Every structure is written in C-alpha cells, then in structure tokens.
Amino acid sequence: MHDTEPLAEARALTAGYGSRPVVRDLDLEVRPGEVVALLGANGAGKTTTLRALSGDLAPMGGEVRWLGEPGRAPLHRRAREGLAFVGERAVFTRLDTAENLRVGRVTTEQALALFPELGKRLKTGAGMLSGGEQQMLSLARALGRAPRLLLADELSLGLAPLVVDRLLRAVREAADRGLGALLVEQHVHKVLGIADRVYVLHRGRVTLTGTPKDLRADLDAIESSYLAQKTIHATD
C-alpha cells in the first residue's frame, strides 16, 4: 500500500548519550500516508530513536536517512523541509492560544479545522488551558503547517481517553492525506486502532515488528514481556 520512498529511515542505527548507546542496530522506516507506532517500556529507547530521526541527536553508528538522503542535518533544517516534532504540551504558556498559532505560522482557520474545541479558547493564555487543550494546540501547530513527517513523543500522556481519541484521529486523518507519522505511545490499544505498522523496542533493540493485526493476537504476551504499563490512569 505504501510503495513510495521512506520519508525517514534508520539503518543499523546506534544512538545514545556520551559514550553510552541506548538503541543499537535499529532498522526502522516511515513512509508517506502511514502511521507507525513505536512501543516499548520506559527506558527502551523510544525517545532516543525519535531524537536521532529528527536530527536532534547525532548517531553513534549506522545512519539516518531523511527524504531519501543520508546526512546529519539538524532538527531546525529538517523542520524547514517538512518535519514536525511534538512532545508533551509544547506551548508558550505566557502567550494566548491565538498567539501560539501565529508564532507557529498557523492560521486560526487551519487550527480550528483540526480542533474546533479551541475556538472558544483563542484569547485564553495557553498556560490556563487544560492538558488536553494544550496538546490539541501543540498538534494543531504541527499539522497546520502540513508537514511531510510527524514525530510525536507521548502525544497522549496523562490525558483522558476521549481527548486521546481526538488527537489520534487527527493524526490518522492527516496520514490519509499523505502525512507520514511515527508515534511513541503507551495507549497501546488505542494506537493499534489507527496504526498501519508497529515496532516494539526492548532494551534498545527492535524485538517485534508487524501490523496491528499481527500483534493484536499476542498483545497480552507483548504487554507482559515488553511494556511497562498495561493501564494508563489519565486525567485532563
């Protein structure tokens, strides 16, 4: 289904901090139009993988390819070329919602097309928004620029299930329009509902890959063996 060239690709990637590798010999790719889930326990290397793919962390070995070319372009350059990185509620808390959108060069129309809920909060300081509203704002700023690739690190961390559904649905709809997305998620069942492919990391190595259908049959075993949390207690 996704037969185009990968947007981002890791080949035998080893990455970490100082002289200590966190991920080793990792092979991974994200193509246009697909949502890829990256699962694993805390400390498995998920954030390190995202940072290396984004250009925020230099590889210790192997290579990262961006738009088909090897290289070590920094995150800000890749951002200009169509990469968006969303972490936990990355908003400017001293600015209001509309100002956050302007700083991100996204119009209110673009943002409200994704999340109409923000319409009544445009003049509200971002620091006064709920956690779910802050993450909607973060994701609206990212998707409103129509990026080629979205890297999202714990997009739904600590949020209520209905908010998680809204965020993941927005990513799925953007992928259906051609976006490639790599999501680090602890809401395993929810992300499997929108993902096309899955990688499971365990102690810095990819131990399982497949489609959600492939993995769902063995999900209990996967959770007990590789994932730290089966249940997320969420609030908004």
At 71 the pLDDT is 80
Q: Which tokens hold the place of 232?
A: 């997320």
Weakest mean pLDDT among 15-19, 158-162, 199-203, 227-231: 227-231
What is the rounded CA–CA span in Å between residue 61 and residue 161? Answer: 39
Confidence of residue 49 (pLDDT cuts 50, 70, 90): very high
The structure tokens listed for 135 are 């993450």
Model confidence at 230, pLDDT cuts 50, 70, 90, reads: very low
The pTM for the full model equals: 0.91
- Return d(Cα 169, Cα 132) in angstroms, integer: 14
